[in-house]
Amino acid sequence: MICCFADCIEDDACRYLDCYDKGDTGMSLRKMRAWVLTKPGELRLQEVPMPEISENQVLVEIERACICNGSDPGIYHGHEAYRTPMVFGHEASGRIVRKGKNIEQFQVGDRVCWWFEAGAFAEYQAVTVDHTAMFRVPANLSLDEGPVLELVLASCRAIMELPAANDRKTMAICGLGPSGLILLQYARALGYERVTGWDLYEQRRKLALMLGADAVCHPEELSAGACRDMAENDVGVMMMGDDLLPGEPTMNLFMRAIRPGGILVSYGHPERGCRFSPYVFQMRDLRMQGPVNNMEIIRSRGKEIMEMVAAGRIQIEPLITHRVDFEDFLPAFENVLNKPEEQIKVILKWRDRQ
């Protein structure tokens, strides 16, 4: 066995990986297992070459990953931002086993999470540090909680620049999937005095109350009049995917629950787009904005968020409903696609690893 890491500063790198296998035909690059989206709608567990890293990358041994309920379905069906074939998945955590020469802030052996780079549903992933927001996983988090930190960073972007203030004390969240459940905890940590959640599924509404929501409601049971009679919110965050209700768009109802002059944050990823009435939006004098995408802001706020998670102000464990082996990923993913009410976060691990 010949190791390709002879130029590594850290001797520990070779403890993690033997990069080349020597066979009868000479030297061949070591392979790894990965779930590959070969084309839209087709996922295969394949052997692929081990990633090579650049001077600005780290090689991470994936300890745990998780299914993204919001983005993964859209990528699976064929999203314009992604080209196939590609290694699927983007929510993961693991240990650095090699680093490029330009990486100073992280060391081999560090347990890390990051937002955002696809290619996580594999045994190893090359992550570009200067293109992502990377953090050390808080020491008191379990292996299963680690990959959900990517979701924490992603969802908190919705209000990173909207802490509670004199004119921002109340918030409504439409969609209590994993992102919405994280966001309501973050809103509390940022000082919001009242947080209300909307969702179709009873399991999620109950969990939202446990995690700090003041009230929850089923949007199918609301009318335009009922929304007008509700206590108005300073901020409304649309976390939902495709609108599953017939009749008037859910977003119209939701906008009526935001005070005139309030803020509407568009965060969710509906595959079929989002329908709403410009009339309702204009008459309520709302301002719409998206989540934070500035990487420097995400890195700065991310440090605070990691501290909140470590202190238990943002809880991850209650969101984990399923744990499966990577080898059994496909039926678990099909269940997320077809029965979203049955799970919140699905954690994945390789069968032969702890």
Helix or strand holding residue 279 (H, E): helix 278-283
DSSP string, 214-268: SEEE-GGG--HHHHHHSPPEEEEEE---S---SSS-HHHHHHTTEEEEEEEEE--
The answer to whether 134 and 127 have CB atoms below 8 angstroms apart is: yes
pLDDT at 223: 75
Which residue, 148, 109, 115, 112, is CA-closest to 320? 148
| Identity at 241, one-letter amino acid code | G
Which residue, 258, 164, 179, 168, is CA-closest to 211? 179
pLDDT tens per residue across span 61-83: 999 999 999 999 999 999 888 99
pLDDT at 26: 34
pLDDT at 112: 98
Residue 258 C-alpha from the chain's centroid: 26
Classify each residue of 65-79 as buried b or exposed e, where b means 16 or more C-beta atoms within 10 Å of its C-beta: bbbbbbbbbbbbeee
Stretches where the chain sits below pLDDT 50 are 1-28
Classify each residue of 271-284 as buried b or exposed e, where b means 16 or more C-beta atoms within 10 Å of its C-beta: eeebebeeebbeeb
pLDDT tens per residue across span 262-319: 999 999 888 888 899 999 999 999 999 999 999 999 999 999 999 999 999 999 999 9
pLDDT at 29: 65
pLDDT at 245: 87
Residue identified by tokens 């501290």 is: 307
pLDDT at 267: 95
Q: What are phi and psi of 182, to 5 degrees?
A: -70, -45
